[in-house]
Structure 1
Amino acid sequence: MSEPSASAVDPLRPWPDTVQWRPVSPRLVTVELLGLAVWQVILLTGLGAGWWLGGQRVWPVLMGAVLFLGVWRATVAVRAVRAWGYAERDNDLMVRHGLVIRRLSIVPYARMQYVDVTAGPLERAFKLATVQLHTAAAASDARVPGLPPEEAARLRDRLTALGEDRAEGL
């Protein structure tokens, strides 16, 4: 049997090594952890009220479970942010993310309809934005979270220009 060629794609290695991956900002970790902390406080407050009103032993057990799941989710969130990346190529944009289920989206510039840049209140507080790409097929939309606003604006402008150039050739 012959060995696969060096250019063969391995479906179990979805992050091609032939491109220059750009990471998202590490400040996205803080944004994710703060969002998680808010939900933890809300859940623990509700469970604490149930314990105070009902006085049963199940409430502290549930509170412990919420705390345990919160610590687990915080660990996963840190690793998940590090898994995000994007690469600009000649004809398309590649976006990767995921830990257990890895996802690689390849969006051809000619297929892009429009590009959004959004930033919620927490993202704005940490000077971050999200670039959202829209195509005709809803399943092929891709997003790149955790970008500094300058990089998000640069990427938006570049993708828009490249999308217009490629679409004219169709």
Structure 2
Amino acid sequence: MTSPFDPADVTWSRVSTRLTAARLIPATITFAVPIVVGVVLALILSPWFWLLAGASAGLLAWTAIVVPRQVRAIGYAEREDDLLIRKGILFRSLTVVPYGRMQYVDVEAGPLDRKLGLAKVQLHTASVGTDAQIPGLSPEEAARLRDRLASRGEARLAGL
């Protein structure tokens, strides 16, 4: 039996595992501040501040467990008439973007992404609510996908 999130005739492409580091580094920095503040205040003022440090450390540990699983759940597949993007573990989502509905395709990379050799492809369609993005691609794959999607979109638009 096939799942609505895993069509039978689809071969999924995965994103880079370096996306895990790109998501864990900012989380570590974010949680490190309350951990350090909690430890310092617990040593100086009151042992109650250990709760702040402990809760932040617990959230960081949970993030370190969840993020790699989330990254492994991201995939995309190019089909004849559309692009499929899936993501999520607990709340799964499958986005189908018909090539004929694409208006333009962006490739983005922030400073950390560039340092880790990653890029994100963002698809813009006629629908405002479409969340069609593929993070964690190598810059070469992002450029190839951008060019391929743009040419397929133009071909489908010309056929209308």
**Fold match, TM over 0.5?**
yes
Distance change (3 Å), C-alpha of 1:83 and 1:99: same
Q: 2:7 matched to 1:16?
A: yes
8 Å contact 2:105–2:122 — kept in the other structure?
Answer: yes
Check the 8 A contact 1:117/1:130 in 2, yes or no: yes
| Paired amino acid for 1:38 | I
How far does the alpha carbon of each residue in 1:88-108 deviate from its partner, in whole angstroms, 9 at most, with x for none? 000000000000000000000
Q: Which residue of 1 aligns with 2:28?
A: 37
Rounded Cα–Cα distance in structure 1 between residues aligned with 2:72 and 2:29:
22
Counting matched residue pairs gives 160
Contact kept, 8 Å, 2:99 with 2:156, in 1: the verdict is yes
Structure 2: tracts of 5 or more residues without a match:
none
CA distance in 2, matches of 1:141, 1:165: 22
Question: 8 Å contact 1:132–1:144 — kept in the other structure?
Answer: yes
1:49 is displaced (CA, Å) by 5.2
Query: What is the identity percentage for the equivalent residue pairs of Structure 1 and Structure 2?
Result: 47
TM-score by length of 1: 0.88
TM-score normalised per structure 2: 0.93
Secondary structure at 1:138 match in 2: coil
- Return the alpha-carbon distance in structure 2 between the equivalents of residues 108 and 40 of structure 1: 40
C-alpha separation in 2, matches of 1:115 and 1:82:
24
Verify the 8 A CA contact 2:107 2:143 in the aligned structure 1: yes
Q: Is the 8 A contact 2:37 2:53 kept in 1?
A: no
Residue 66 (structure 1) shift: 0.7
Gap runs ≥5 in structure 1: 1-5
CA-based RMSD: 1.6
Q: How does 1:50-129 map to 2 (within 5 A)?
A: 50-51=41-42, 55-129=45-119
